[in-house]
Each structure stands twice: as C-alpha cells, then as structure tokens.
C-alpha cells in the first residue's frame, strides 16, 4: 500500500510540474485561462484580420490592434491567441495566460469591415533558448493565421527573449486595455 501511494504521489507531482512549466498547455483553461466564446459558426477566419502589436513605453507592454480586413461582419471569441515565432517562422512555446482584463469578453462582439478591436498584452522577458522576431496570431476559436506586425520593439525587427505572455480580452476601444 505504501509503494502504491508513493507512486501515485510521484505521478501527481510530475503532472503538476508539467502543467506549471506550460508543457502541453495549448488548450489550457481555468481561472487564469477562461475558455473563449464559441464562435465556430462565424463566417470569418484568421486571414480576415490584420494584427498590429504596438510596443508601449513600459517594457514588455503592447497594445494589440485587431482590424477586420474582410468585407463582412465577424463575430469575435474574446481573445487573440498569440505565439512568438523565430526568424524562420518556427513557433516558440511559452506559457500564455488569457485574462479577463480589463473586463470579461464583450458579449456578441462583432467587428464590422474596417473596424478595429483592442487588447493589452504583457510579455515577461528573460533568458530563453530562442529569440522571437514576431508573432503568429489567430482570433480565438477561428482557424487560420492573421498577418501580424510588431511596431516599436526594435528595428528592423524585434529581438525578444519572451518567457511568458498575458493577453487581455478584446475590447471595442483601447481605453484601459493596458491596466
């Protein structure tokens, strides 16, 4: 009995360590990672948007702008999923929290053609094995990637050693998204 309890405790400890370090976290949800609203019936995909991350004066702080480049109204799922990428376009897996800041997602948020929604993004920098020079972005619960530009974080392109990210909810105005 003692051997079985020790084995069970060891397995639980290893599983907890994997969750803490973010291994296999692609679909993590919970108090720090609320599930996006189901917009799978949306007639839009990631390719229907352009994403711009604008570096702010506080290091690691970005204003995310999601612009609808299509000719149709698009239902949004609350967040934009961000993945840092290397110069070769290889995704860099980093722990990412999708938080309800400044507020929970706007209910039935539609983005009209040419309109923009906003979100705050915080990056924690530190020693990592990879350097990000950009991001892949996909609106929550949609397929396809959005073209993503990073402005003000290094020229001609950023060189970011990102340890983790925190992404706030999409909002109709940029006010308070960087809270």
Confirm whether 20 is domain-assigned: no
pTM of the model: 0.77
Q: What is the dihedral of CA 67, 70, 76, 79, to 10 degrees?
A: -40
pLDDT of residue 161: 92
Please state the φ and ψ torsions of residue 16, each to the nearest 5 degrees. -65, -40
Confirm whether 25 is domain-assigned: no
Mean pLDDT of 154-173: 89
The per-residue pLDDT for range 21-51, each reduced to its tens digit, is 333 333 333 345 665 556 555 789 999 999 9
The per-residue pLDDT for range 110-158, each reduced to its tens digit, is 999 999 999 999 999 998 888 999 999 999 888 899 878 899 988 767 8
Tokens of 73: 């109204």
Confirm whether 129 is domain-assigned: yes
Contacts of 70 (CB under 8 A, 6+ apart): 44, 48, 49, 113
Mean pLDDT of 15-25: 36
Confirm whether 49 is domain-assigned: yes
Confirm whether 19 is domain-assigned: no
Instruction: Residue 131: give the domain boundaries.
Output: 36-167
Confirm whether 176 is domain-assigned: no
Q: Are 163 and 131 in contact (CB under 8 A)?
A: no
Confirm whether 66 is domain-assigned: yes
Our count of domains for the chain comes to 1
């Amino acid at each position: 009995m003692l051997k079985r309890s020790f084995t069970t405790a060891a397995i639980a400890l290893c599983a907890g360590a994997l969750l803490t370090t973010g291994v296999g976290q692609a679909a993590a949800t919970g108090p720090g990672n609320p599930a996006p609203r189901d917009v799978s019936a949306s007639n839009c995909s990631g390719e229907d948007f352009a994403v711009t991350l604008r570096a702010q004066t506080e290091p690691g702080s970005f204003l995310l702008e999601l612009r609808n480049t299509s000719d149709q109204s698009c239902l949004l799922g609350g967040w934009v999923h961000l993945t840092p990428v290397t110069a070769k376009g290889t995704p860099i897996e980093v722990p990412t929290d999708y938080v309800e800041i400044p507020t929970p997602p706007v209910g039935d948020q539609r983005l009209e053609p040419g309109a923009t929604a906003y979100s705050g993004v915080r990056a924690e920098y530190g020693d990592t094995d990879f350097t990000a020079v950009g991001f892949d972005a996909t609106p929550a619960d949609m397929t396809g990637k959005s073209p993503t530009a990073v402005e003000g974080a290094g020229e001609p392109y950023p060189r970011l050693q990102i340890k983790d990210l925190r992404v706030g909810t999409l909002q109709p105005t940029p006010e308070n998204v960087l809270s």
